[in-house]
Amino acid sequence: MSVLDDIVAGVREDLAAREATVPAADLRALLAEAPAPRDPMPHFRRSGSSVIAEVKRRSPSKGELADIPDPASLAQEYAAGGAAAISVLTEQRRFGGSLDDLRAVRAAVDVPLLRKDFIVTGYQLLEARAAGADLALLIVAALDDDELRRLHAEARSLGLTVLVEVHDEAETERAVALGAELIGVNARNLKTLEVDPDAFTRLAPLVPDDRVLVAESGISGPTDVKRYVAEGARVVLVGEALVKDGAPREAVAAMTGVEA
């Protein structure tokens, strides 16, 4: 079993418990009164780099990253630094996140929010919207073609912007064929946790110019951002470097608006 398989198995167990407690119908009722999702794409398409700043306590590859007792306060620092969007890890077992983190961040900031999780069912998309998310992550490696198409369509029907994550050529071809507008290249292989520093360089040319590319993983500062922008990224998703930085507002600002 790969690392990704193990993570998804745990996600499904936790998901079953939540579904038993909160029926999908209850989530849909909440959405009837929810405000429309915020659209991050106009900002993402601007010249210069846009930053998705991540609230992330730990990861399977690095272990504990940061003690974040108040995710709302961290998100406010990100927003003040000019983050175009904020990513909130909601997977609990490996990343120490929760939907409560997402709700707390939503109450604190007005910028678009990404639910960062291992989404494998439409119920999780309903949860995302009910908790205030504007974007949802779909990881190509975790889904077959039918699941990917169905979840992408369901997310769009809920008004969510979808970040479709890839790691290799085959996954990139699937994302492009899907019609994904926002494609993230993760340098980390979630099946093995190994990092390929040249993944973005190799995969970016496979994505049509009308799509928006997001560089994920291994971004420590403006120098890395400049490199990715030069290779076609419009957006960078940064977690570890920001949660470990003692001045997250200034760190986000330094990575924002970087030109090639």
Q: Which are the catalytic amino acids?
A: 54, 56, 116, 165, 186, 216-217
Q: Does residue 2 contact residue 192 with C-beta atoms inside 8 Å?
A: yes
CA–CA dist 133, 224 (Å, integer): 28
Which tokens in the block code for residue 207?
A: 């994505």
Q: Does residue 252 contact residue 51 with C-beta atoms inside 8 Å?
A: yes
What is residue 207's three-state secondary structure? coil
Question: Which strand (E) or helix (H) includes residue 158?
Answer: none
CA–CA dist 31, 188 (Å, integer): 34
Q: Does residue 192 contact residue 3 with C-beta atoms inside 8 Å?
A: yes
CA–CA dist 128, 122 (Å, integer): 10
Q: Name 30's Cβ contacts closer than 8 Å, sequence gap at least 6.
A: 130
